[in-house]
């Protein structure tokens, strides 16, 4: 999952959902409104959104119950990131034409983009009940449920999304992440591979595949998957960190350090990679270097409990027992329960 990230969290802009005229005939009494509306449609097609907005405003001023004009003006406002105004227009479109059920998906997507996940999920659910078959409706509904920790129902939604569009790579990726949360690793691997077959440039799908392969103790295969992610995105610091972790598990500590270092060069405040590099330094018995790195982590984030835990271990190796005990005590205070095991030596 934008990345559930799972990067679960990747956002796609959807089409405006333009409503074309049912007929080329123009009713005389609404001629000016229809002409303004048609100009708006033409401007949307060439992405001249500000002019389209002016056209739809004119159409609505001439015909107050013009449902299609409200519908398309909402789409324009969504493109201009005017989410609350777009929702108001979708409300009006549905008020004047209750059969316009595609509003539920598009209004839900607008709420989703604005951060109103509860309102979005309500619209997605209503849209499905009304018979909307849009694959992305089910997909985004699944994304919200995944984020809410409702993995079983998220799985149902991703299944529906894939049934509606068997080429929707994101749905395979996120269903793979859902299977991973449910500890169904074989199914997870299958879905990540399906996502990659559809779109081989999905760097996060390669990264996710690598992480599940690591769970299956297939470190070499995981390293290959992370390497593919890095080929696609040379600044993918998470993939560098994960590849370094796979190398660490293979006891290739020098290779792991190179990857952790690259992750830090890309994102200097990425503390998981800093912590991992220090741990690899400890494996090479470079304890002073490890302590220096843990110091940097703690300077950046004084509440990073594992840095205290690991710095304590490094200090113990340097025969600094009193300082080690102080670090383990701090780690315990920050909620790192395993610190209790080390504190037994202090007692």
Query: pLDDT tens-digit profile of 252-263?
Result: 999 999 999 999
Q: What CATH number is attached to the domain comprising 335?
A: 1.25.40
Closest CA to 154 of 129, 134, 185, 180: 180
**Shortest CA distance to 244 belongs to which of 225, 259, 234?**
259
Over the stretch 217-260, which tens digit does the pLDDT of each residue have? 999 999 999 999 999 999 999 999 999 999 999 999 999 999 99
Q: Which domain holds residue 331?
A: 289-347
Q: Is residue 102 part of a domain?
A: no
Determine what percent of the chain is predicted with pLDDT higher than 70: 92
Q: What is the pLDDT of residue 29?
A: 59
pLDDT at 15 (0 to 100): 37
Q: Which residue has the tokens 């103790």?
A: 217
Residue with the bigger pLDDT between 157 and 26: it is: 157
On whether residue 156 sits in a domain, the answer given is no
User: Residue 25 pLDDT more than 50?
Assistant: no
In this structure, is residue 317 part of a structural domain? yes
Domain assignment present for residue 345? The answer is yes
Residue 199 lies in a domain: no
- For Cα atoms 306, 209, 214, give the angle at the middle one, nearest 5 degrees: 50
How does pLDDT run across 177-188, given as a tens digit for each residue? Answer: 999 999 999 999
Residue 328 lies in a domain: yes
When divided into structural domains, the chain yields a total of: 1
Instruction: Tell whether the torsion through CA atoms of 215, 216, 217 and 219 is positive or negative.
Output: negative
For 318, the token pair is: 């340097």
**Does 60 reside within a domain?**
no
Domain annotation covers residue 298: yes
Note the pLDDT tens digit of each residue in 260-301.
999 999 999 999 999 999 999 999 999 999 999 999 999 999
């Amino acid at each position: 999952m934008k990345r559930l990230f799972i990067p679960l969290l990747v956002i796609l802009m959807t089409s405006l959902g333009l409503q074309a005229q049912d007929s080329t005939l123009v009713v005389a009494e609404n001629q000016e409104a229809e002409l303004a509306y048609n100009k708006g449609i033409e401007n949307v097609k060439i992405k001249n959104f500000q002019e389209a907005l002016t056209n739809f405003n004119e159409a609505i001023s001439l015909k107050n119950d013009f449902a299609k004009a409200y519908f398309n003006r909402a789409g324009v406002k969504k493109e201009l990131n005017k989410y609350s105004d777009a929702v108001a227009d979708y409300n009006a479109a549905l008020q004047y034409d209750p059969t316009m059920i595609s509003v539920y998906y598009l209004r839900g997507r607008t709420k989703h983009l604005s951060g109103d996940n509860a309102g979005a999920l309500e619209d997605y659910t209503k849209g499905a009940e009304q018979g909307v078959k849009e694959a992305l409706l089910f997909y985004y509904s699944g994304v919200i449920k995944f984020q809410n920790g409702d993995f079983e129902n998220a799985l149902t939604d991703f299944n529906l999304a894939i049934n509606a569009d068997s080429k929707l790579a994101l749905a395979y990726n996120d269903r793979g992440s859902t299977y991973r949360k449910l500890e169904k690793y074989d199914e997870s691997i299958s879905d990540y591979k399906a996502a990659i077959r559809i779109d081989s440039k999905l760097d996060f799908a390669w990264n996710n595949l690598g992480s599940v392969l690591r769970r299956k103790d297939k470190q070499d295969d995981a390293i290959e998957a992370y390497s593919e992610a890095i080929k696609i995105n040379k600044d993918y610091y998470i993939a560098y960190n994960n590849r370094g972790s796979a190398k660490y598990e293979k006891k290739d500590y020098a290779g792991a350090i190179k990857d952790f270092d690259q992750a830090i060069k890309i994102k200097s405040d990425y503390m998981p990679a800093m912590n991992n590099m220090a741990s690899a330094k400890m494996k090479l018995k470079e304890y002073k270097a490890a302590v220096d790195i843990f110091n940097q982590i703690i300077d950046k984030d004084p509440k990073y409990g594992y840095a205290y835990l690991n710095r304590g271990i490094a200090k113990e190796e340097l025969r600094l027992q009193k300082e080690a005990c102080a670090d383990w005590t701090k780690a315990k205070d920050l909620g790192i329960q395993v610190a209790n095991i080390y504190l037994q030596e202090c007692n």
